[in-house]
Amino acid sequence: MSNLDNFPCSGKNMNYFLGPWILLVIYKKGAIHGFQIKKILEEWLDGLSISFNMTGLYRHLNAFEKRGIVKSKWEFSGKGPARKIYFLTDMGKECLSRWIRTLIFQKKIINSFIEKAESLSGDSKI
């Protein structure tokens, strides 16, 4: 039998939907900078063994900004370096709403699959 660790069935390359998570954080918290987004995501995703890095987070934020989903402004405070603060645009709110509807539909598909798969538990082939 071949090693299946690098095959799609391993789940290694599954999408963790970081984009919608980022949009949800910004929606719930309002104007927020990247490091705060990362901290909140780490808290929300704690225990799920999902890793992500700041580079990937900023890649999403930059792509969102180019598409008009988020806007940013620089915050200059007396302490520390300037920070880029992100907030959702109206288009970003609609994008998040669409993500929610899409993921609800995907959840139904996944639940249906799991239901059918569980009915095979007595199948000696699996």
Q: Which mean pLDDT values do the consecutive 10-residue runs of the chain (126 residues) have?
A: 66 77 96 95 88 88 96 87 94 96 95 90 62
* Neighbour order of strands in the sheet with 32-33: 32-33, 83-88, 70-75
Per-residue model confidence (pLDDT) at position 12: 64
CATH number for the domain running over 14-118: 1.10.10.10
Q: Count of residues for the chain? A: 126
Instruction: Tell me the CB-side half-sphere exposure of residue 7, using CA atoms within 13 A.
Output: 4
Per-residue model confidence (pLDDT) at position 52: 79
Per-residue pLDDT of 34-66, as tens digits, reads 999 999 999 999 888 777 788 989 999 999 999
Per-residue model confidence (pLDDT) at position 77: 79
Its pTM stands at 0.84
